[in-house]
Structure 1
């Protein structure tokens, strides 16, 4: 398995929380998500928090493409946005799996 390193900030913060992992395996996308943390805390709307997480991830990806591959950050972000919206409107693959709640 080819795992990504844990960010230093997460290692240094004893209150850090892993929210999402994503793998490509067996010719498909597989995820592990921490769903419900915001809803259970009651102070932030869960959907809004995940929208922010996904937007932050998109910006990190665009930044990495610019830094590592000389891509234009704004063009990359626009391509990510378009692909995201296209996949929400007309998914190219069906989702499989189930929600397993573990704390």
Structure 2
């Protein structure tokens, strides 16, 4: 669904859009569930690796996410490529 990495001083990603829509689900809410699950995995990993509180980590991620959406550090650049046919 989503692959992301840092290279050449920037974030790069590939996103598979339309899978949920093609299966009769609304795309935006499904992405919300996917991202929430991802955030929980990050919080659990930080707790296991570094002893950081998972709930505190989730709160910090959500605060940072909200701040970044409201005032982006960088503009999102790139293009969307429609499917593989």
Could you say which TM-score interval applies, normalised by the shorter chain? over 0.9
The one-character-per-residue Cα deviations of 1:1-52 (angstroms, maximum 9, x if unpaired) are xxxxxxxxxxxxxxxxxx11001011111110100111122x2100001011
Matched, 1:58 2:35: no
Tell me, which stretches of 5 or more residues in structure 2 are unaligned?
none
**Could you tell me how far 1:97 is from its partner in structure 2?**
0.3
Question: Following TM superposition, where does structure 1 have runs of at least 4 consecutive aligned residues deviating by more than 6 angstroms?
Answer: none
Report the number of matched residues. 84
TM-score (structure 1 length as normaliser): 0.78
Q: Structure 1: where are the runs of 5+ without partners?
A: 1-18
Q: What CA deviation, in whole Å up to 9, does each residue of 1:41-73 have, x standing for no partner?
A: 2x2100001011111100000000000110011
The CA RMSD over aligned residues, in Å, is 0.8
Partner residue of 2:2 out of 20, 31, 40: 20
- Which residue of 2 is the match for residue 82 of structure 1? 63
Q: CA deviation at 1:102?
A: 2.1
Q: Does 1:96 align with 2:77?
A: yes
